[in-house]
């Protein structure tokens, strides 16, 4: 598996191109991501959204149209793609496929699991491909996603953190902002956040 990453827009949101068996999956194409994506894909298969915030989905519509790709989004966040809630001029789009909580899908024979970790948003998910977790705004290096936005829930974030801490395996984590990390490296911090929230 090959992973390309480029921080996009004012919030430096990580857009990922994940290549498995010469198939390219685009995760969270944010503000201005389209040109970089187009320059770096050979066989694009799909756009995958971890959640619905504008800085992660801004370029959905352009890639959907220009590359003839389907957009896969957690169903609880799909409404965010269709409305410019923050009044920033975000191009709206309609998700082609609504993902159920903790659903595993197969695209061109590649397993993609959307682990549902609500709290930051109702549908917030971490996307697992080949024992690598693209965590969106759930887990960061040394931190977690904010829970003070509209539709956020500190209670659900606590439940989500408790859920992932039950995992007995380690896994590489590539977050929506900042540096990559691992679950084992973040366990202490995640436990502290549970107590803090």
* 90-116 residue pLDDT tens: 999 999 999 999 999 999 999 999 999
Record the pTM. 0.97
- CA pair distance 146, 138, nearest whole angstrom: 8
* 41-59 residue pLDDT tens: 999 999 999 999 999 999 9
Residue 167 has pLDDT above 90, yes or no: yes
Render the burial of 132-170: b for 16+ CB within 10 Å, e for the rest: bbbbbbbbbeeebbebeeebbbeebbbebbeebeeeeee
- CA pair distance 25, 15, nearest whole angstrom: 11
* 11-43 residue pLDDT tens: 999 999 999 999 999 999 999 999 999 999 999
Q: What is the pLDDT of residue 13?
A: 98
Domains in the chain: ranges and CATH: 2-196 (3.60.15.10)
Q: What is the pLDDT of residue 86?
A: 86
Instruction: Compare 87 and 130 and report the one with higher pLDDT.
Output: 130
- Rounding to the nearest 10 degrees, give the CA dihedral for residues 104, 107, 110, 113: -20
Contacts of residue 45, defined as CB under 8 A and 6 or more positions apart, other chains included, come to 23, 24, 25, 69, 107, 108, 110
Q: What is the pLDDT of residue 137?
A: 98
Residue 85 has pLDDT above 90, yes or no: no
Q: What is the pLDDT of residue 96?
A: 98
Residue 9 has pLDDT above 90, yes or no: yes
The tokens for 78 are 């799909």
């Amino acid at each position: 598996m090959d992973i390309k990453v480029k921080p996009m827009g004012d919030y430096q949101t990580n857009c990922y191109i994940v290549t498995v068996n010469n198939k390219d999956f685009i995760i969270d194409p944010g503000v201005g991501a389209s040109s970089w994506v187009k320059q770096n894909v050979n066989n694009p298969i799909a756009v995958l959204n971890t959640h619905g915030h504008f800085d992660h989905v801004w370029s959905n519509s352009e890639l959907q149209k220009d590359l003839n790709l389907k957009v896969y989004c957690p169903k609880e966040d799909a409404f965010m793609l269709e409305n410019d809630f923050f009044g920033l001029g975000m191009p709206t789009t309609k998700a082609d496929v609504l993902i159920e909580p903790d659903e595993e899908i197969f695209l061109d024979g590649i397993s993609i699991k959307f682990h549902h970790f609500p709290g930051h948003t109702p549908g917030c998910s971490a996307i697992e491909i080949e024992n690598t977790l693209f965590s969106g705004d759930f887990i960061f290096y040394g931190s977690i996603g904010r829970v003070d936005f509209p539709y956020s829930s500190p209670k659900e974030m606590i439940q989500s953190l408790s859920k992932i801490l039950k995992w007995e395996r380690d896994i590489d984590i590539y977050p929506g902002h900042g540096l990559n990390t691992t679950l084992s490296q973040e366990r202490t911090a995640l436990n502290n956040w549970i107590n803090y929230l």
